[in-house]
Structure 1
């Protein structure tokens, strides 16, 4: 039987329907917590009848007996003896003589409030991991206010107060256990509910503030995190404020032009402020030729689409490769994926379009699937620098990268456990992340209907 919320009675997993008066009788007996309740008390509490002289109240006693019989049949259909053992008849000695009383006898597993009480009692003495599991189990039994149909009655006040107090203790202890386990994200919803229900509770407000601060500290420079909403995927997309080359546990993505130039002397071919220049300095210790050698090795199997003359292109490399070409460059146990998403004109100005960028990204994900070692992948906001995709703003560029990645996840399982889009702090104010949030909202089933 369930009384932690609207009453539900099941016998052999079959729901039993009772009349409202019989429900009140049942709940009055439950509230007695195993004690016998005299017929006179039942008449006062269930029927609201005043005491009458014993020789005048036979009719009222008959009404009680009628409801008791109905309840016994409901508790043990077709088994009269069983019903009698669950709802027992006793005789109590009073100054006015013997009086009939009724006692409800249920095993702990037959009543949700008994199970709840036992589980919480054990959990309050357990270490954090066990306590968290058991308290969550106990609270899952709660569907509403205990004895909801009679919670305002005098006979139920003490019983309801004890159960609601125990529920409150279980919630607060569950918050504490989850915090001890380093799981503030699981503690937060419970702490928010406690603070909402107790707006004047200073301790509840303090715990909630501490949890929120802990979660903010955990996120650090993380701006956004979503799980790729595809069946069987356990891949996260993360937007991060920071430096691409600080992502030391990741494969990196670096954008190039179709000539894969790396020369930064006097800023004539490649700017010293570019990601390519930082790649040379920070991962290759300034040894540009080492990077060039690795790029050449990776391009050997790629057919060039043309070669410029020294006259037409006096500076930089002259061999051109197809836009979209991707080279996986091995560096210290990980990969730098060099993708050509722009064309470097003979005037040394890089030009690109959203079509070029999409092509480059498609080839990038295919290469990551083969060479990525199932490591996280960090990518800068490519298309926003000197080789700017002029028809997209920064927010749209982020959305394009994310869209392309999600499409690739559908085609290429086990692509990477995490994609990090790294946005420089100085670019963040000019980057609207609304399009990315909207993408994930649109991809979640039922989100439109919910809106």
Structure 2
């Protein structure tokens, strides 16, 4: 309810409400004017009709502006994009996307236990880092490294940004995409260009391995990637959605992309503005 209360305090909510209400009231007035040509005394004798038209217009405007789940269905390609509030790892019926560094480190202190990658190790692999490393190494065996990180503790072999490892659990897939660079001090960083190119490579792998099933992706740009100043939460949603839609127009990626935002970030977003952006991605 707090997010709904916040939405109805936004300028966009009131703009939509007033625009839609005035549009309906204007149409009603035009119809009433035409009727008055043939029954000039109708509205003077029944003033309640005008009040009913006004109330109907306000209710219509309110219905059009009222906050709804943030999602858009597209026809070309046939896919859906959603933004939801919650826990990425609670989406048990979907494939998950996990952002990693170009060295594919998996353990502390190189990876924060509170990060998405740290939670992946704990909640999906039961903190079995050796098994996760083995699975990653098996998938990387066919990928050519691009160098090493001299003086770094932990893993030192670099792989190209956009390298995506697909880990399997029955019919479920976990896509680990490298979108940050790790330095010798185990500090991860990236750029918007690096993230964009990484997402472009990611969608190719998702297209080949998801079997069309729903895919969940966390917000990107915060945490260890150091992108928050240039890619805040709202822009992160736009960035992911735009990248996905452009890739989908080349060839369908999956039936549904779900962007999962932690509660604090979700509540801070302008939901109506995000919905308007997702709607704008429909072909004109």
- Structure 1 residues not aligned, in runs of 5+: 1-143, 153-195, 447-451
Q: Report how far residue 285 of structure 1 moved.
A: 1.6
Matched, 1:278 2:124: no
Q: Is the 8 A contact 1:402 1:436 kept in 2?
A: no
The partner residue of 1:317 within 149, 155, 161 is 155
**Distance in 1 between residues matched to 2:281 and 2:111, nearest whole Å:** 39
Alignment of 1:252 with 2:96, yes or no, is yes
SS in 1 for 2:223: coil
| Equivalent residue pairs, number | 235
Deviation at 1:149, TM superposition (A): 11
Matches within 5 A, 1:63-212: none
TM-superposed CA distance for 1:400, in Å, is 0.6
CA distance in 1, matches of 2:147, 2:261: 34
Q: Distance in 2 between matches of 1:352 and 1:386?
A: 9
**1:370 alignment partner, SS class:** helix
**Deviation, structure 1 residue 324:** 1.1
Residue by residue over 1:125-178, the C-alpha shift from the partner in whole angstroms, topping out at 9 and shown as x without a partner, is: xxxxxxxxxxxxxxxxxxx99xx89996xxxxxxxxxxxxxxxxxxxxxxxxxx
Task: Give 1:361's match in structure 2, choosing from 192, 196, 199.
Answer: 199
Deviations 1:343-367 (A, max 9, x none): 0111111001101110110011100
Change in 2 beyond 3 A, CA 1:235/1:297: same
Q: Aligned Cα RMSD in Å?
A: 2.9
User: Quick check: 1:305–1:320 contact (8 Å CA) kept in 2?
Assistant: yes
- Is 1:403 the counterpart of 2:268? The answer is no
Alpha-carbon shift at residue 256 of structure 1 (Å): 0.2
| Misfit runs of 4+, over 2 Å | 148-152, 196-200, 428-446
**SS of structure 1 residue aligned to 2:180:** strand
CA contact (8 A) 1:396 1:435 kept: no
Q: Distance in 1 between matches of 2:185 and 2:272?
A: 36
Name the structure 1 match of 2:129. Answer: 288
Q: Secondary structure at the match of 2:260?
A: strand
CA-to-partner distance for each residue in 1:280-316, whole Å, 9 max, x for gaps?
A: 111112212221111111111110011234xx11x22
Instruction: Say which SS state the counterpart of residue 386 (structure 1) adopts.
Output: helix
Contact 1:239 1:421 in 2 (8 A): yes
Q: Distance in 1 between the 2:163 and 2:201 partners?
A: 7
Rounded Cα–Cα distance in structure 2 between residues aligned with 1:375 and 1:360? 21
* Pair member with larger Rg: 1
User: Residues 260 and 435 of structure 1: is their aligned pair in 2 closer, same or farther, counting only changes over 3 Å?
Assistant: farther
1:212-266 C-alpha deviation (Å, 9 max, x unpaired): 8xx98xx7xx4x11113x53x32110000000001111100000000011112xx
For 2:170, which of 326, 329, 332 is the aligned residue? Answer: 332
Structure 2 Cα separation of the partners of residues 432 and 256 of structure 1 = 28
Q: Normalising by the residue count of structure 2, what TM-score does the alignment of the two structures yield?
A: 0.74
Q: Post-superposition shift, 1:434?
A: 6.1
- Cα distance in 1 for partners of 2:54, 2:193 equals 55
TM-superposed CA distance for 1:198, in Å, is 10
Is this contact kept in 2: 1:395–1:434, CA < 8 A?
no
Q: Distance in 2 between matches of 1:430 and 1:388?
A: 19
In structure 2, how many angstroms separate the alpha carbons of the residues matched to 1:408 and 1:435? 23
**1:225 matched to which residue of 2?**
71
Query: Which one of 236, 239, 242 corresponds to residue 86 of structure 2?
Result: 242
